[in-house]
Amino acid sequence: MPTRNIRKVLIANRGEIAVRIIRTLKKLGITSVAVYSDADKGALHTKIADEAYYIGPSNPLKSYLNVDAIIEAVKKSSADAVHPGYGFLAESYKLAKAVEDIGVIWIGPPSKVMERLESKTYLRSTASRLGIPVVPGSLKPVSKDEALKIAINIGFPVLLKADKGGGGKGIRKVSNPEELSVVFDSASREALLAFGSSDLYVEKYLDRPRHIEIQVLMDLYGNVVTLGERECSIQRRYQKIIEEAPSPVVDRKTREYLSQMASLIVREVGCLPACTVEFLRDNEGNFYISEINKRIQVEHPVTEMLTGVDIIEQQIRIMSGEQLSIKSVLEFNGVAIEARIYAEDPDNNFMPSPGVINYLEIPSIDNIRIDHALEIGTKIPPYYDPLIAKVIAKGENRLEAIERLKFALESFKINGIKTNISFIIKIIESPDFKKGEIDTQLVERKFLRENKEQIQ
Ligand code: ADP
Ligand code: ADP
Ligand code: MG
């Protein structure tokens, strides 16, 4: 395949990830094109990009989620590639197809691959065929009766999951047959509304699992490189809050095993240029593949801090036809931990807290990276995901990384909106977190209860 020049990239996104992508484009000498809605007039990503195009009203359905509006901006700007970031249309095969159809490079998997990967049961059945363990449950979408049969067979509690769900949404825990019968109908209605498909499947509910994922890169010639794992077990409502690498429970042998599994599935389904294979680890140390994310992930800086690889740069190089020239990582040097900063109020049920930033101190500390799109005067609109920044700390060991992260979070001053910074500090200071004894249900079990008691 000949090399294709990428000289101008449109970023179909906003906020910290748009700024992050533009930074790499500048480094590579590629022209950057931002898009913005009414709510984002004057936002940082529009100012640092070489060009910026208006794509519509604040309502994301009419702008950042509007395929026609994005395509129009691509045509107007004569961009030769589109980077979708994460969220919004990043996993939309429709946008990928529309981009391909006008002869522009989509910095993501081919639209056909994306269409197949929309279905989580496609991944489950493919993995299963390859001999990769999946969480016990159904390998295809099921009716209510089938769900019941399978649930009785694998044992309650189970999870009902939307086949096309994502972002921690569309997952419902069910503890007995009566509950399943009721929840099935509402979950399937909700799935239809949220994801355009009512398909559900059943999975065994794992008690206190750990979420561990492998970062994979694949070029157009089928060369695959893995960059080790990230553990993302600190979650609230199935959504990640704190991520780290290496995982305290992954040794070199396990890393090799997980990397092998991840490479196998990525090659099979053709997921390039960068994707992440997520696994759940049960109490006994068994790993099960749970899904593939076919885009850059929120937590990619954790891997970048440790490996020095710029994953966005690799995505662009791969899509321009270059062969991968970096090596797989099987040994990490040091530890990196990321905390997601949200504009939300931990003392009021984590309600989003939009507003205007009227005071801001962003610390500049060695071995700390802060990805954000903030300035004094920045409006945090109510229309979009409340993630406003990511603080990533690197240390020689885990305790050093934790201490450094804490120092950075304490030095991060922001007024005009509420944030979850104090909540994160509470978690990383806790003995459980310090010992690395974490699982995806830890926050719910230990920190939300405490939190409620404090309010009462
Ligand atoms: P990552 O696994 O990269 O950390 P998340 O699962 O937290 O990413 O999702 C990244 C962003 O994309 C979040 O803002 C999330 O709300 C959004 N997102 C991901 N998938 C979907 C989806 N299918 N529908 C709606 N939002 C989604
Ligand atoms: P999404 O596409 O929404 O990210 P995932 O399948 O990756 O969905 O699941 C998100 C999170 O939900 C996981 O990281 C984990 O915390 C929890 N989860 C998913 N499947 C199970 C399971 N079978 N048992 C227990 N928890 C699960
Ligand atoms: Mg996931």
Average pLDDT over residues 58-71: 98
Do 241 and 234 form a contact (C-beta atoms < 8 A)?
yes
Closest residue by Cα to residue 433 from 410, 391, 401: 401
pLDDT digits (tens, 9 = 90+) for 297-323: 999 999 999 999 999 999 999 999 999
Cα 168 to ligand 2 centroid, rounded to whole Å: 7
Instruction: Verify that 364 and 324 share a domain, yes or no.
Output: yes
Would you say residue 114 lies in a domain? no
In ligand 1, which atom is closest to the CA atom of 387?
14
Work out the number of other CB atoms within 10 angstroms of the CB of residue 87. Answer: 21
Do 73 and 55 form a contact (C-beta atoms < 8 A)?
yes
Instruction: Verify that 172 and 320 share a domain, yes or no.
Output: no
pLDDT of residue 449: 65
Would you say residue 383 lies in a domain? yes
Structure tokens at 387: 């993630």
Task: Reply yes or no on whether the pLDDT at 169 is more than 90.
Answer: no
Q: Quote the DSSP letter at residue 446.
A: I
Can you tell me the distance from the alpha carbon of 331 to that of 326, in angstroms, rounded to the nearest whole number?
Answer: 14
276's enclosing H/E stretch is: strand 274-281
Q: Quote the DSSP letter at residue 363.
A: -
Candidate from 115, 298, 304, 383 with most ligand 1 atoms within 8 A of CB, to mutate: 298
Instruction: Verify that 420 and 305 share a domain, yes or no.
Output: yes
Q: Which ligand is nearest to the CA of 440?
A: 2
Would you say residue 402 lies in a domain? yes
Residue whose token pair is 């702008």: 63
Percent of the chain surpassing pLDDT 90: 96
Task: Reply yes or no on whether the pLDDT at 453 is more than 90.
Answer: no
pLDDT of residue 117: 96
Average pLDDT score, the chain: 96
Cα 235 to ligand 1 centroid, rounded to whole Å: 13
Cα 291 to ligand 3 centroid, rounded to whole Å: 6
Q: Quote the DSSP letter at residue 324.
A: P
Would you say residue 117 lies in a domain? no
CATH number, position 157 = 3.30.1490.20
Instruction: Verify that 198 and 222 share a domain, yes or no.
Output: no
Work out the number of other CB atoms within 10 angstroms of the CB of residue 239. Answer: 14
Give the residue numbers marked as catalytic.
295
Name the residue range of residue 157's domain. Answer: 136-204
Instruction: Verify that 321 and 222 share a domain, yes or no.
Output: yes
Instruction: Verify that 185 and 218 share a domain, yes or no.
Output: no
Would you say residue 307 lies in a domain? yes
Q: Which residue has the higher pLDDT, 349 or 4?
A: 349
pLDDT of residue 450: 53
Buried (b) or exposed (e) across 350-385, using 16+ Cβ within 10 A? bebbbbebeebebeeeebbbbbbbbeeebbbbebbb
Average pLDDT over residues 103-130: 97
Task: Specify the residue with its C-alpha closest to ligand 1, atom 24.
Answer: 166
Would you say residue 121 lies in a domain? no
Instruction: Verify that 168 and 277 share a domain, yes or no.
Output: no
Residue where a domain terminates, one of 179, 204, 229? 204
Instruction: Verify that 217 and 361 share a domain, yes or no.
Output: yes
Q: Quote the DSSP letter at residue 241.
A: E
**CB 86 near ligand 1, within 6 Å:** yes
The domain tally of the chain equals: 3
pLDDT digits (tens, 9 = 90+) for 251-286: 999 999 999 999 999 999 999 999 999 999 999 999
Cα 79 to ligand 3 centroid, rounded to whole Å: 31
Would you say residue 261 lies in a domain? yes
Structure tokens at 191: 């799935």
pLDDT of residue 456: 34
**CB 298 near ligand 1, within 6 Å:** yes
Do 259 and 361 form a contact (C-beta atoms < 8 A)?
no
